[in-house]
Amino acid sequence: MDARNHEADLDAVIVGAGFAGMYMLHRLRGLGFTARVLEAGSGVGGTWYWNRYPGARCDVESVQYSYQFSSDLQQEWDWTERYAAQPELLRYADHVADRFDLKRDIDFNTRVKSAAFDEAAGRWVIETANGKRLSARFCIMATGCLSSPNLPDFKGLESFKGDRYHTGYWPKEGVDFTGKRVAVIGTGSSAVQSIPIMAAQAAHLTVFQRTANYAVPAHNKALEADYIARVKAEYPTMRARARTTMTGIDFDYSDRAALETSAEDRTREYERRWNHGGLWFLGAFKDLMVSDEANATCADFVRAKIHSRVRDPEIARLLSPTNTIGCKRLCVDIGYYETFNRGNVTLIDVSERPIDAITPEGVRAHGREHKVDAIVFATGFDAMTGALNKIDIRGRGGLALREKWSAGPRAYLGVAMAGFPNLYTITGPGSPSVLTNMLPTIEQHVEWIADSMTYMRDRQLGRIEPVAAAEEEWVGHVGEAASRTLRYTCSSWYLGVNIPGKPRVFMPYIGGFPKYIAKCNDVAAGGYEGFALA
């Protein structure tokens, strides 16, 4: 460890070297704070370090899914595809780490086991699985929203003799499925991206689907030099526009209502957006996420598209979701539905009867064994709270965060918790995070946290902690905002429903990025209203 960062003078420990932890380190350094990052992986990149499954790529366009804090960085980096694939995103993360000389303050292969607030010293004591112990005035959790893989407790799981993979924990060296019989369990975004590629490789692919998912085409393409030049010239205005949208993405969100538009016009608009590709599709009408009737017009359009893409009408029917479109995260696909036209792909619907068991030789469903050489679990994550709850986090009086959150996460602005002084979470539950473009959301959080630390330093204050009443009010507001939308109505990971026993609480803030930024700015301008400072 660098002598400058000797724990006695360490201002902050940052947990995680994904996009959040990296920028947090850079920002704090620039402000003259000392910080050390602890990272479980052997490199930077977070999500893009772990999710190396075939086909992994972002579903927000690369030119927007990137940092904006450094204009030089923004100008010098050239994205090659509309939606960057995981290797390119990891190269970008690595480039940023090298460009800003971040790695000298990151301990890799270091998993944080516990973090406890020492009240007498006013410092956090952080312990790692490999026996390190650090203390710092601030502890900043940059642990990611979708970083704790969920492996359901299937009967017989351990008996399987073949190879087992989870999309969120993919081997660095990659996997060659050539000539193999492969099972995939799950049909969320990770499966939708990986299934077409695995199907092209494997001898046979058997997909176990519990809930059919809506996917819109990506229309991914290589980016032309003149397009990149245009974006670079317009970056400041594009980024400013993005901050005014609900998702922090520079999209053209319509202010027309589907129910006030004729059926022909509606279809024309859906078709236009379908041909353009990507998540922009759901911005077609303003009432899609608040009115069942409006939503049905959109869902019908996508179901018709699925039927036009899949030759066998029965398979098309099984692949057609019946739930609210956009309730679960919309998937962006490259040839997903067409993959089910291949002769080497079988779809097994387990919506009405769960998978019976994993057997030594495969997967048994509906009483029939499907023999395979490998199983890919595309079964998602214990989202938003999972990574934090894996760490034994103790605040004042030894209060455990797991205990505080036993009935669902409670945090003020998704950034700090009553009972846990000087602890920050970047894109924590109660912040817009996963409902927005993560990069600008991360930057907003990092800058707000750094500003609050500077504010304290300027006034020689040692502690910042949310007041219980302010936290209570924010948690209420987050819940109330969610309950007004259709997103509240399905069994999504936003609600924690994918994890047995997890409280059903809508975790991200759905009020939109601009409203959230305004609230955070007001809180800061009011001398950190809702926080106790001492």
Q: How far is the CB of 475 from ligand NAP (least distance, A)?
A: 22
Structure tokens at 89: 């995103």
Q: Which is nearer to ligand NAP, 96 or 191 (CB)?
A: 191
Q: What does the per-residue mask of binding to ligand NAP show for 490-509, with x meaning CB under 6 A?
A: ---x----x-----------
* Residue given tokens 């020689």 in the structure block: 460
Ranges within 220-279 binding ligand NAP (CB under 6 A): none
Q: How far is the CB of 492 from ligand NAP (least distance, A)?
A: 8
Q: Yes or no: say if 106 and 37 are a contact pair by the CB < 8 Å rule.
A: yes
Question: Which DSSP state fits 414?
Answer: T
* Integer CA distances (angstroms), 108 to 134, 313, 352, in order: 15, 50, 44
Closest residue to ligand NAP: CB criterion: 188
Burial 308-333 (b: 16+ CB within 10 A, else e): ebbeeeebbebbbbebbbbbbbbbbb
Q: Could you tell me how many residues make up the chain?
A: 534
Task: Work out which of 355, 423, 426, 475 binds ligand NAP, going by CB under 6 A.
Answer: 355
Q: How far is the CB of 186 from ligand NAP (least distance, A)?
A: 3
Task: Work out which of 97, 115, 146, 453 binds ligand NAP, going by CB under 6 A.
Answer: 146
Q: Yes or no: say if 285 and 254 are a contact pair by the CB < 8 Å rule.
A: yes
Q: Which is nearer to ligand NAP, 117 or 513 (CB)?
A: 513
Q: How far is the CB of 199 from ligand NAP (least distance, A)?
A: 16
Distance from C-alpha of 354 to C-alpha of 356, rounded to nearest angstrom:
6
Q: What does the per-residue mask of binding to ligand NAP show for 425-464, with x meaning CB under 6 A?
A: ---------x------------------------------
Q: What does the per-residue mask of binding to ligand NAP show for 381-410, with x meaning CB under 6 A?
A: x-----------------------------
Q: What does the per-residue mask of binding to ligand NAP show for 26-65, with x meaning CB under 6 A?
A: -------------------------------xxx------
Q: How far is the CB of 163 from ligand NAP (least distance, A)?
A: 19
* Integer CA distances (angstroms), 408 to 379, 424, 506, in order: 21, 18, 9
Ranges within 179-198 binding ligand NAP (CB under 6 A): 185-191, 193
> What is the residue type of 225?
A
The angle at the Cα of 235, spanning 230 to 241, to the nearest 5 degrees, equals: 120
Burial class (CB in 10 A: 0-12, 13-18, 19+), 520: buried
Q: Which is nearer to ligand NAP, 210 or 410 (CB)?
A: 210
Q: Which is nearer to ligand NAP, 440 or 530 (CB)?
A: 440
Q: Which is nearer to ligand NAP, 27 or 166 (CB)?
A: 166
Q: How far is the CB of 390 from ligand NAP (least distance, A)?
A: 17
Q: How far is the CB of 182 from ligand NAP (least distance, A)?
A: 16
Q: How far is the CB of 457 from ligand NAP (least distance, A)?
A: 36
Q: Quick one: how far is CA 66 from the chain centroid?
A: 14
Instruction: Give the binding range for ligand NAP (CB under 6 A) out of 86-94, 101-109, 374-382, 457-465.
Output: 374-382
Distance from C-alpha of 198 to C-alpha of 210, rounded to nearest angstrom:
19
Does the footprint of ligand NAP cover residue 143 (CB under 6 A)? no
Q: How far is the CB of 428 from ligand NAP (least distance, A)?
A: 16
The DSSP element (H or E) to which 106 belongs, if any, is strand 106-107
Cβ neighbors of 376 (< 8 A, separation 6 or more) are 53, 165, 166, 167, 182, 183, 184, 185, 191, 194, 198
Q: How far is the CB of 207 from ligand NAP (least distance, A)?
A: 10
Helix residue ranges per DSSP H, 321-409 = 336-339, 386-389, 401-404
Q: Which is nearer to ligand NAP, 35 or 56 (CB)?
A: 56
> What is the residue type of 103?
K
Q: How far is the CB of 324 from ligand NAP (least distance, A)?
A: 13
Cβ neighbors of 112 (< 8 A, separation 6 or more) are 15, 38, 40, 126, 127, 128, 129, 391
Structure tokens at 430: 């109660």
Q: Yes or no: say if 508 and 425 are a contact pair by the CB < 8 Å rule.
A: no
User: For binding to ligand NAP (CB under 6 A), which residues are involved?
Assistant: 57-59, 146, 152, 167, 185-191, 193, 208, 210-211, 329, 350, 354-355, 378-381, 434, 493, 498
